[in-house]
Structure 1
C-alpha cells in the first residue's frame, strides 16, 4: 500500500493509492499513517478515492490513525466510494470524522 503525501497551506493531503484497506493491509496502513502524521502539524485529509473496499480491520486502522494524533492535529476523510461510505455510515463513524465529497476542495476549505 502506498500513501502519497501532498503538503498544502491549509492541510496535508494523504492519498491512498490502493483499492482495499483490509486485514492484510491494515497494519501497514496504520504504520504509514503514524509516520506521516508524526512529521507534520494541523489538518490531514485522507483521500479514499481509490479505495473500493474497507473491512473492520481497515476501519479500525483509520480510527487508530485518528486516535494517535497529537493535540491540534485533525484527520478528515474525502472522496469515499459508495461501499466505503456505507461502512462509515453504518458504523456511525460519519459522526466522528468530517467527510468531504472531494479531496481537493476539502484541502481548500478552512478547518471544519
Structure 2
C-alpha cells in the first residue's frame, strides 16, 4: 500500500498512491495509516484523488483509520473520484467525514 505523506504545520497530508482500496489491501491500508498517524496531533487530510474504487472493506479501513486517531486529531477527505464519492454518499459516510473537492480546499478548511 503506497501512501505518501507531507507535514504542513499542524496538518498531515496523506496521499493514497493506489487506484483501489479494497479487501486485498484494506488491512495494509489500516496498518499503514496507524503507523503514519500514531502519536500525532492536529488534522489529517486523506487525499483519495488517485483512488477510483473503494469496496466495503476499503470503506471499513478508512473508518477504522479515523477511529484509531488520537483524541486531538481529526480526519478530512479530499479528491474523491465519482465512484468513490458515490460509495460515501450511499453509505452516508459523507455525514461522518468532512469531504472537500480537492487538496487546496481541504488545506483552506484546515487553516481557517
Using the size of structure 1 for normalisation, the TM-score is 0.95
> Do the aligned residues in 1 keep the contact of 2:10 with 2:41 (CA within 8 Å)?
no
Partner of 2:15: 15
Q: Distance in 2 between matches of 1:17 and 1:84?
A: 15
Partner of 1:90: 90
Task: Determine helix, strand or coil for the equivalent of 1:71.
Answer: coil
Give the gaps of 5 or more residues in structure 1.
none
Q: Distance in 1 between matches of 2:91 and 2:53?
A: 15
Using the size of structure 2 for normalisation, the TM-score is 0.95
- How many corresponding residue pairs? 112
Task: Determine helix, strand or coil for the equivalent of 2:24.
Answer: helix
> Do the aligned residues in 1 keep the contact of 2:77 with 2:97 (CA within 8 Å)?
yes
Shift of 1:10: 4.3
Partner of 2:4: 4
RMSD: 1.3
Match runs of 1:1-112 below 5 Å: 1-110=1-110
**Structure 1 residue ranges (4+ consecutive) displaced by more than 6 angstroms after TM superposition:** none
- CA shift in 2, pair 1:60/1:111, >3 Å: farther
Task: Determine helix, strand or coil for the equivalent of 2:49.
Answer: coil
Give the gaps of 5 or more residues in structure 2.
none
